[in-house]
Amino acid sequence: MIIERAEVIVTSPSRNFVTLRLTTDEGLIGLGDATLNGREHSVVAYLQEHVVPLLIGMDAHRIEDTWQFLYRGAYWRRGPVTMTAISAVDVALWDLKAQAAGMPLYQLLGGASRKGLLAYGHASGNDTEELFDSIRHHLERGFRAIRVQTAVPGVRAVYGVPHDVTVSNGVRSQEYEPASRGAYPAEEDWDTRAYLRHVPTVFGAVRTEFGPELPLLHDGHHRMTPIQAASLGKSLEPYDLFWLEDCTPAENQEALRLVRQHTTTPLAIGEVFNSVWDYQGLIREQLIDYVRSSVTHTGGITHLRRILDFAAQYQVKSGMHGPTDISPVGMAAAMHLGLAIHNFGIQEFMPHSAKTNSVFAQSFTWKDGLLHPGEQPGLGVTLDVDEAGKYPYEQAYLPFNRLADGTVHDW
């Protein structure tokens, strides 16, 4: 199975996506997600200029060898751009191998370990009433686990809460999408003390309204110092969170030691990580409970599986990143991997827009709160190139934060 063509396809149906498309001499087509939100063209260039020329004529069956060749052979290792580019190649090769075998990819990864993947949705609100509506809306759409984000009094724009929600017949019609199109990132504001006072009251209200059973999650989005995160974890203990995510900026692994000493609230981290080395201390010292890496940004199925196998020795589980900036191709890869591994925890699931689904045909199912990748050979995703061509790239940025005195803060 020889790679004859390798194309990098950029499309922007409702947000930007980058896809690597490999075609073999037998006419099979394999896809890999190469989307790095807000920095898309860095991965396009990495692939087009440096990787595509190496792929032509290569044996598509040699997944492990190709991974090692691209990782070690580049000399310059790790980093989001490199690891996203390697992931796209890795996933496209797994897609091809599974199609050649005539099996859905999860079968090649060891077969199904469960019926489907518990997935959580994003509920949010500017006030309690809006938040409760959003939670009910998600429960009606079948979600059995909910991430809760709310506005904070005195703060203009908060991560996870849409600014311009439209509600018709009691249903919120807009999903939260942080990246905005334009030539400059949107500026948001932040006040950690106001946030720390407010969040426990929100979880108290949610538990009173929805009872003790519903798994609830929360994303701190890298904004707290270690002692602030410790204090939040402690104040949320009565509300029994499934996890508190990214409580501190993720690059400082030692921070989690301090947080862990003070709270039993389960911790999830790693959506901005890209290699097993980012997790080494966190997993070995049992400082986290969930690995947030996506297949897309962490060197593909080959490398994320390695991280998760290491994590399994310490009872740390998967919690793969799945916002809309993970393309349908990246989501499919996550679902196949999540179905196969033993230490699956939960999958983040933000449904893609109708326009995105018109570009990417997908085989996954969503039933009884569980995702399943479907039974088509390979990943189960096809890319309609003509449809993709209708939506050219548009510059887009994630927002950034400034404190009241003008200092830039983690967003």
Evaluate whether 374 touches 364 at the Cβ level (below 8 Å): yes
- CB neighbours of residue 272 within 10 Å: 16
The entry of ligand CS2, Mg ion, none that residue 289 binds, CB within 5 to 8 Å by partner kind = none
The residues that touch ligand CS2, with contacts defined as CB under 6 A, are: 37, 178, 219, 221, 271, 321, 323, 325, 348, 398
Cβ 230 to ligand CS2 shortest distance, Å: 21
The entry of ligand CS2, Mg ion, none that residue 323 binds, CB within 5 to 8 Å by partner kind = ligand CS2
Cβ 244 to Mg ion shortest distance, Å: 11
Residue positions counted in the chain: 411
Residue whose CB is less far from ligand CS2, 10 or 109:
10
Cβ 201 to ligand CS2 shortest distance, Å: 22
Q: What whole-number distance in Å separates Cα of residue 394 and Cα of residue 15?
A: 8
- Residues 46, 71, 120, 159: which is the catalytic one? 159
How many residues at the interface with Mg ion, by CB under 5 A?
A: 2
Map residue 397 onto helix, strand or coil: strand
- CB neighbours of residue 153 within 10 Å: 11
The entry of ligand CS2, Mg ion, none that residue 260 binds, CB within 5 to 8 Å by partner kind = none
Residue of 98, 91, 96 lying closest to 297 (CA atoms): 91
Residue nearest to Mg ion (CB): 219
Does 221 participate in catalysis according to the annotation?
yes
The entry of ligand CS2, Mg ion, none that residue 95 binds, CB within 5 to 8 Å by partner kind = none
The entry of Mg ion, ligand CS2, none that residue 325 binds, CB within 5 to 8 Å by partner kind = ligand CS2
Q: What whole-number distance in Å separates Cα of residue 51 and Cα of residue 44?
A: 10
Cβ 17 to ligand CS2 shortest distance, Å: 12
Residue of 86, 51, 52, 80 lying closest to 67 (CA atoms): 86
Residue type, 409: H
The entry of Mg ion, ligand CS2, none that residue 37 binds, CB within 5 to 8 Å by partner kind = ligand CS2
The entry of ligand CS2, Mg ion, none that residue 293 binds, CB within 5 to 8 Å by partner kind = none
325 binds Mg ion (CB under 5 A): no
Map residue 378 onto helix, strand or coil: strand
Cβ 268 to Mg ion shortest distance, Å: 8
Contact set for Mg ion, span 257-276 (CB under 5 A): 271
Cβ 325 to ligand CS2 shortest distance, Å: 4
**List of E strands, 103-256:** 117-125, 146-150, 167-168, 171-172, 180-181, 187-189, 216-219, 243-245
Match 């490999």 to its residue by tokens. Answer: 22
Cβ 110 to ligand CS2 shortest distance, Å: 27
Does 159 participate in catalysis according to the annotation?
yes
Q: What whole-number distance in Å separates Cα of residue 84 and Cα of residue 44?
A: 10
- Residues 138, 221, 297, 303: which is the catalytic one? 221
Q: What whole-number distance in Å separates Cα of residue 109 and Cα of residue 98?
A: 10
Instruction: Collect all residues with Cβ–Cβ distance below 8 Å to 266 and sequence separation of at least 6.
Output: 241, 242, 243, 244, 289, 290
- Give Cα separations from 4 to 14, 19, 304 (angstroms): 31, 17, 27
Contact set for Mg ion, span 197-226 (CB under 5 A): 219
- CB neighbours of residue 154 within 10 Å: 13
Would you state the structure tokens that stand for residue 370, as one six-digit string?
């569980």
- Active-site positions? 159, 221
Contacts with Mg ion by CB under 5 A lie at: 219, 271
